[in-house]
Amino acid sequence: MHYPSLRTAADTIALHAAERGEQLAIICEGRQVSYGELGRRGNRIARALLAAGIAAGTRIAYLGKESEHYYAIFFACAKIGAVLVPINFRLAPEEVDHILRDSGAELLFCEREFHPTAVAGASELDSLRLVVDLDGDGERGDGLADWIAPYPDDDLVVTAEPGDPIVQIYTSGTTGLPKGVVIAHRSFFAIRDLLAEHGLPWLDWFPDDRSLISIPGFHIAGIWWAMQSFNAGVPIVAMRMFDPGEAVRLIRELRVTTTLAVPAMLQMMVQETAATPADFASLRMVNYGGSPISETLLLRCQEVLGCALVQMYGLTESGNAAICLPPEDHVPGSPRMRAAGKPYPGVEVKVVDTAGNPVPNGQVGEICVRTPAVMLEYWGMPEATERTLVDGWLHTGDAGHLDEDGYVFISDRIKDVIIVAGENVYPAEVENALTKHPAVAEAAVIGVPEERWGEAVLAFVVPSPDAQATKRELMLFLRTLIGEFKVPTRYEFVEAIPRNPSGKILRRVLREQYWSHLDRKVN
């Protein structure tokens, strides 16, 4: 199902609320919200935001798990031109504080569970004027239901354009501080429209589809997938947070037909003790991405899930999907099973050397993409934006090659990012946190192969001469500074960290013993 008139998120909710208002839009923990109700809630929230002095371009933060509230707030922002800043609820207080400060958010929607993480320091933020408790009455503001109750739910006049910003998603950075990636409305529509124009069923929808949202909305993949579902006017089944047993139950009982997941999620689902192919009988297509996948897991998914598989490759900066491995290329034994895929229509790919010159097919270099869904900018970081977006080309930081048919193969990672169950972890931010401990003189962090999560975080630690710390002490210390998924699970205490003459850590040397036996230097 394709609605070509949709160009912004505001268009999406307005159309479906008007044309299929009684149809189910969201199921979350048994609660059901129709498209009409979702539209009305969005209108009320939008009017409350306007009454609070929120103007177009203002950043609005959200700290909470997945829920119908998240999407109502997203659509409310779309209606008035505000920019939603979803925050990873797994982050440590210092990281949340950085995002609130960097974004200049004027209002925070926060679940009570996360008040100790965010609200305690909110009074020190100059920009943050209001905190709205999503669960009920909070110490610094009314609950969401009470807050929006005085306002009417009729439609607003919307002037949003496809190139206007709608969401600002924070990704970890090589400097150790997350960067705000500003995404426009067009990022949620460009690929959809190009696929429809070329008649390719790589991302198709049918009237009886039900879409499982297993990736949180603070990830580009999570909000992008939800928007593809909403754009098609089908219901989403939103998981508050991923649990493999619960995911299997929802697919079975609610007759879910399609979903997007990271490989670690798929592995946990197919390994569920009680799960059988019958549990996945309703599935017709599963999309996956966020990290490389092993051929062993792919074969297991084909056996257990029994449906079409589609791999998507993209970055937050690319507006999510840019490259696709369609179902017809998921052939056991085919070398293409190791490919990321080929570009979507309207997306260009090139591989360049360190000087930025294209290299021949088969030669490894940095993968660059040019896509109509690309980010607008890194918020407040023009130099970083210029380094990443060069003449319209997005430099991905991934190393790989093209074959003679234009398929992209990922072989290594230029920017050192570690991917743990689909979550990006940059060594620099972990190293910065580690060296704050008095017992750590130096630290270097790498990713190593790990069967369940894809990669694990390993820290090399040079102890201080006058202090000592155990692995457990370091782990407990780090949990106060960074999200738990970033905390190293493995440690090696060493006398020195290998560096080049300019002092840069030689991660290649550290990684060699763990990756030399593998063809791909990503897992």
Considering 324-328, 424-428, 516-520, the range whose residues carry the highest mean pLDDT is 324-328
pLDDT recorded at residue 306: 92
Of residues 503 and 104, which shows the higher confidence score?
Answer: 104
pLDDT recorded at residue 176: 61
Residue written as token pair 């268009």:
11
The predicted model gives 495-501 an average pLDDT of 76
Least confident residue range of 33-42, 88-97, 410-419 = 410-419
Q: Tell me how far apart the alpha carbons of residues 396 and 347 are, in angstroms, rounded to a whole number.
A: 14
% of the chain surpassing 90 pLDDT: 61
pLDDT at 136 over 90: no
Q: Tell me how far apart the alpha carbons of residues 161 and 237 are, in angstroms, rounded to a whole number.
A: 28
pLDDT recorded at residue 504: 65
Q: Tell me how far apart the alpha carbons of residues 438 and 442 are, in angstroms, rounded to a whole number.
A: 10
Summarize pLDDT for 438-449 with one digit per residue, the tens: 898 888 898 988
CATH number listed for the domain at residues 9-241: 3.40.50.12780
pLDDT band per the 50, 70, 90 thresholds, residue 519: low
Summarize pLDDT for 453-478 with one digit per residue, the tens: 888 999 999 898 878 889 999 999 99
pLDDT band per the 50, 70, 90 thresholds, residue 118: confident
Summarize pLDDT for 203-220 with one digit per residue, the tens: 899 999 999 999 999 999
Residue written as token pair 């790498």:
446
pLDDT at 184 over 90: yes
Considering 269-273, 369-373, 418-422, the range whose residues carry the highest mean pLDDT is 369-373
pLDDT recorded at residue 502: 47
Expressed in angstroms, the distance from the first to the final Cα of the chain is: 35
Alpha carbon 247 to chain centroid distance?
Answer: 18
Looking at the chain, the domain(s) classified CATH 3.30.300.30 span 418-515
C-beta of residue 299 within 8 angstroms of C-beta of residue 278: no
pLDDT at 137 over 50: no
Residue written as token pair 């919307």:
158
Looking at the chain, the domain(s) classified CATH 3.40.50.12780 span 9-241
**Percent composition of the chain: helix, strand, coil (DSSP 3-state, to 5):** 35, 25, 40
Q: Tell me how far apart the alpha carbons of residues 186 and 492 are, in angstroms, rounded to a whole number.
A: 46
Task: Give CA separation, 481 vs 18, 432, 477, 492, in Å.
Answer: 46, 10, 7, 20
CA angle 423, 424, 426 (to 5 degrees): 145
Residue written as token pair 């124009």:
197
pLDDT band per the 50, 70, 90 thresholds, residue 139: very low
C-beta of residue 342 within 8 angstroms of C-beta of residue 407: yes
Summarize pLDDT for 64-117 with one digit per residue, the tens: 999 999 999 999 999 999 999 999 998 888 889 999 999 999 999 999 889 888
Alpha carbon 106 to chain centroid distance?
Answer: 23
Crossing angle of the two packed helices 220-232 and 68-80, in degrees rounded to 10 = 80
Least confident residue range of 19-23, 110-114, 222-226 = 110-114
Summarize pLDDT for 270-281 with one digit per residue, the tens: 988 888 999 999
pLDDT at 54 over 80: yes
Which homologous superfamily is 418-515 in? ANL, C-terminal domain (3.30.300.30)
pLDDT recorded at residue 377: 97
CA angle 451, 452, 457 (to 5 degrees): 80
Average pLDDT taken over every residue of the chain: 89
Of residues 340 and 417, which shows the higher confidence score?
Answer: 340
The predicted model gives 36-65 an average pLDDT of 96
Query: Which residue, 435, 481, 488, is CA-closest to 458?
Result: 488
Least confident residue range of 56-65, 97-106, 263-272 = 263-272
pLDDT recorded at residue 138: 43
pLDDT recorded at residue 274: 83
pLDDT recorded at residue 370: 97
